[in-house]
Chains A and B, each alone.
Chain A
C-alpha cells in the first residue's frame, strides 16, 4: 500500500499543529500561518487540510469545553499523531539530505 502523501500546505498546517501542541484549533492555526507566511489564507483551506490529515491519520482531534465565546460552539483541538510525527521527520530528513548535497559554491 502506498503510504499517504503529505502536501505542501498540509505539511505547514501539520507543523503548526505540532508546534502548538494540544492547543491547536482552526483559528489559531490560521493566525499562526498568516503571520509566519505573511499572506492571507482562507479558513476553509485550513479546514480542508485538517480534515484530509485526520482522514489519513496524521492528526487526531478532540472537542474542548463550552464557553460563551464563539456563539457557544466548542473548539475542536488537533494534536499530531505518532504517524504524523514520523511523516514530518521523514520529510525533514529528506529535505535536509538533499539540502546537504548542494555543492559549496557561491550563488552570488
Chain B
C-alpha cells in the first residue's frame, strides 16, 4: 500500500472492533480505500474515517470486560512484589521518601483540620444565608474608618422601615458579670440582645420558646453549662431566680445548648436589651454607638440594593445632624474571616492566614513529591534493563507506568498511615499553639480528603518516573546506548531548584513574621506595661475607691496604684464633642477619651512633653484637660498649654501635653487623644507591683479586695500579657510557620541527601580514577558539591524577589512595622546553602575518602 489510511481511524477500529469481524471489515475497508485512493486521495481518507465510524455499533463492538482476571491479578501481585523488593533493596531511598511524605502529609492534614475549622466558624446557623451585620463607615480626617458598632435604636428602626428585614437584633456586650444563686457567685459572660435573637441565630433552646424567652425585660436565658454550674442541674431551671451583682434579679426563661466553639459570639447568658434600654438613657440616642446590630433579610433579598437603602440611614434618622456615618451590611458568617477594612475597602482579615497556610501545605507536599520524583528518576538507570526487557517482551507502556504508580501510591499509603499516627500524637500540641480544640475524628469528609491527598501525592510523585521511564525505546536501552539526556538532567535540577526556592520562601516568611512579632513585643509603646496589674473596679462608690487605693498603697509589693478608664489595648471610647478655635465645622474626627485618676500617668510612665499632669495640690483639675501630641498636631495648636478648648459644652484649660503612646495595637496609627481627670468613671484599677514579689502582692491585693468587696471574685490580668494577646494571631502564625519551615527544610534536605548519595555512587569510578591519579579529597568534595551549590544559588536568586514582595504585602497589615533588611533574605539563602552543603558534604566526604582500589577492582 502506498499511502496508509488515516492512523487514528485505523487505530480506533482496531480498538473497538471484535476480533472475529476485524479482519473482514478491515480488509473490505482497505480494499475500498485502495480503489478510491486512485480517484481522489482526500476523498478516500474521508471515506475511510466515515466507514470506520459507521461500524461503531453494537454488532461489532467488542466486549470490554477484563476477560483474563487471573492475568490481571498476577500483574498486580507482580507489581506489589517488585515494589516491596525495591523498598528492601533501596532502603535509604525508601526511608527518605517515607519520612518526607509522611511528615509532608501530616503537615497537610494538620493544616487541613485548621483551615476547615476556620472556614466553618459561624456557618452553623440555619439562617446563615440571610444573616448580616450592620457596619458603619465613619469619615475621620478625610479617611473612612470602619466601625462594627451602631447606635442602639438601629435594629428596631431597620426592622420597622425596611420590608426586606424580617428580623433585627441588637447585641451589646457588657463586661463580665457576677451571677449569684444562694450565696454561690459565678463570673460569667453575657450580652444584652433584642427580642429576635433566638429566632435569628441557631443557639438552640432546650427549654423555653425562641419567640417568648426575651419578652419580659427581667428574664435571663442561660446556657446549659451555666445552669449546671448555678443550679447543679440543667433540668427545671426555668422560673428560678438569679441575682446579677451590681444590677438586680432575673428570672430564667430559657436554657440554650452551650454555644458551639465555632461561633465567634461566645456567651454564657443573655439578657433582654429592652431592660437595659429602660435604665440607660443613652440607648435612645443616634449619636452614641456601642452595640452591634444584626439583621436577617428575606431569602433572595438583593444585598446591593439593601446597602443602597441603608447608606444614609443615620443621616435620615437624625434629619441631617449626623452626616458622616454610612451604613452597610456584611454577611454575618464572613465577618470572622473578612474583618479588615481599609478606607472603605475590604482588605482581608483572618482569611490571609487561611490562605497562607493552605499555600504552606501545598508547598510542603510539593517538596515531598519532588523528592520522590528525583530519587526515582535518579534510580532509573539501575532499572533500565528491567524496563528494556519488559518492553521487548511486549509489556505495554500503560502496564509499566502502572508499576511505578503503584510503587509511589504504596509509599504514599504507608506514609498516610504514619502521618495519621503523627497527627494524632501532635494534635494536642497543635491545639495549644493554635488555641483551638481540633479533634481528629474520622468523618467522611476527612477520610475523603486524606485519601484524595494521598492518591494525589502518590500520582504526582510517581507521574514523572512513570511517564519518563516507560517512554524509553527498548532497543536503545538494551544496547546500552541511552545517553543521559540533557532533558533528564535539566528536569531533575529544575525540580531541586524549585524545591529549594519553596524552602527559602518559607524561611524568609518565618524570619520576617518572627522579626515583626519581636518588634511588636519590644517596641516601646510610650508607656510602661511591665509589672502592671490590672483589675476591674468592683464598686462604683467614689469614697470606696479612695479608701481602697489608700489601703492598697500600704501593701509593700505595690509601688504605685491608681485607677484608669481605659484598657490600654484597644479603642475604648471616643468622642466628637470637642471644640477648639479654628476647628472645621464639618470635621467629625473622634478623639479617644482616657479618664484618669491622680497618679495614673505617673504609674504608666507616660512621658510629659509640656506642662504638668493632674495633681492633688490643685483642686480644679477635674476641669482641665491633657492632650497627646497627635491631638495637638491635629488641632494645629502652637502653644497649647494654657489655651482653652470646649468639651461637651464646657470650657477646659489645657494643662499638659504628653508624648504619643500606643493605646491600641500596632496595627493602628496613633490617634488624637485627651486625658481628663474623672476618678469616678475609671473602671479599672492599675497597680505597679515590684518584680519578684508578684505572688505575695497579688495575694494581699486579693485579700484587700475581699475585705472591701466581699461579694465579688477578684479577677486580674497583667497589662503586658493582655498586650501580647492583641498579637495572638501573629504569634501563632510565627510559631506555626517556624515549625512548618523547619519541616520544609528537613524534607528538602532529605531529598538532597538522597540525590547526593546517588551522585556520589554513580561517579564512584570517576572518583576512584581521580584519586588514583592523585586528586585530593578536598578537590573531590569540591567537584561533587559544586553542582548542588549552583542549584541552591539559582534557587536563592528566584526566591528572593518573591519572598520580598510577599513579606512587603504582609507587613502592610501593620501601621508600625519593621523595615525589611537585605540580610533577612541573604541570611535565609546562606542558611539554606549551609544546610545543603552540610547534607551533601556528609555524603561526598564519605565518597572522597573511599579507597579507590575497592571501586576500581572490577574494571
Contacts and interface: CB of A to CB of B under 8 A. Distances in A.
B27 A76 contact: yes
Interface string A73-84: 111100000000
Nearest to B25: A47
B57 A43 contact: no
Given A47-B60, A51-B21, A69-B34, A75 B55 contact: no
B28 interface: yes
Given A48-B57, A74-B23, A43 B34 contact: no
Contact of B57 (A30, A44, A70, A75): A44
A73 B27 contact: yes
B54 interface: yes
Nearest to A50: B24
Given A44-B57, A48-B59, A69-B34, A76 B51 contact: no
A71 B28 contact: no
A68 to B, nearest CB: 9
Contact of B28 (A25, A45, A63): A25
A70 to B, nearest CB: 4
Contact of B21 (A43, A47, A52, A69): A47
B31 A27 contact: yes
B30 A70 contact: yes
Interface in B6-25: 21, 23-25
Ranked 3 nearest A-B pairs via Cβ: A73-B27, A26-B28, A44-B54
A100 interface: no
Contact of B26 (A25, A48, A69, A73): A73
A27 B26 CA distance: 11
Nearest to B27: A73
Contact of B29 (A43, A48, A69): A43
Contacts of B59: 47-48, 51-52
A69 to B, nearest CB: 7
A73 B32 contact: no
A20 to B, nearest CB: 15
Nearest to B50: A42
B210 to A, nearest CB: 70
Contacts of A73: 23-24, 26-27, 30
A25 B54 CA distance: 19
B1 interface: yes
B46 to A, nearest CB: 13
Contacts of A42: 51, 54
Nearest to B24: A76
Given A26-B28, A47-B59, 6 more contacts: A25-B24, A26-B25, A43-B51, A47-B24, A69-B31, A70-B30
Contacts of B51: 42-44
17 contacts: A26-B25, A26-B28, A27-B28, A27-B31, A43-B51, A47-B21, A47-B24, A47-B28, A47-B59, A51-B60, A63-B23, A70-B30, A70-B31, A73-B23, A73-B24, A74-B23, A75-B24
Contacts of B34: 69-70
Nearest to A68: B1
Interface string B52-91: 0011010110000000000000000000000000000000
Contacts of A25: 24, 28
Contacts of A75: 24, 27
Contacts of A63: 23
Interface in B27-45: 27-32, 34
A51 B21 CA distance: 9
Nearest to A42: B54
Contacts of A48: 57, 59
Interface string A47-74: 1100110000000000100000111011
A75 B26 CA distance: 10
A47 B27 CA distance: 12
Interface string A27-52: 10010000000000011110110011
Contacts of B54: 42-45
A71 B26 contact: yes
Interface string B561-605: 000000000000000000000000000000000000000000000
A44 B51 CA distance: 7
A73 B54 CA distance: 20
Contacts of A76: 23-24, 27
A44 B47 CA distance: 12
A24 to B, nearest CB: 12
A71 B55 contact: no
A71 B21 contact: no
A74 B27 CA distance: 7
Contacts of A52: 59
Question: Which of A42, A48, A71, A75: most chain B Cβ within 10 A?
Answer: A71
A71 B29 CA distance: 10
A75 B30 CA distance: 11
A45 to B, nearest CB: 8
B25 to A, nearest CB: 6
A43 B32 CA distance: 9
Contacts of A27: 28, 31-32
A95 to B, nearest CB: 28
A71 B57 contact: no
A73 B28 CA distance: 9
Nearest to A71: B30
Contacts of B24: 25-26, 47, 73, 75-76
A99 B23 CA distance: 42
Chain B CB count within 10 A is highest, among A26, A45, A47, for A47
A47 B58 CA distance: 12
A63 B32 CA distance: 18
B671 to A, nearest CB: 84
A84 to B, nearest CB: 19
Taking each of B24, B25, B26, B30, which has the highest tally of chain A beta carbons within 10 Å of its own beta carbon? B24
B636 to A, nearest CB: 94
A22 to B, nearest CB: 16
A51 to B, nearest CB: 5
A56 to B, nearest CB: 13
A44 B24 CA distance: 11
A26 B55 CA distance: 13
Given A44-B51, A44-B54, A51-B59, A71 B27 contact: yes
B14 to A, nearest CB: 12
A68 B54 CA distance: 26
Nearest to B33: A71
Contacts of A69: 31, 34
B31 to A, nearest CB: 5
A105 B606 CA distance: 129
Contacts of A70: 27-28, 30-31, 34
A74 B24 CA distance: 7
B632 to A, nearest CB: 95
Contacts of B23: 63, 73-74, 76
Interface string B146-190: 000000000000000000000000000000000000000000000
A108 B51 CA distance: 43
A92 B564 CA distance: 117
Contacts of A45: 54
Interface centre among B1, B28, B29, B54 (most CB of A within 10 A): B28
A43 B57 CA distance: 13
A91 B137 CA distance: 93
Contacts of B30: 70-71, 73
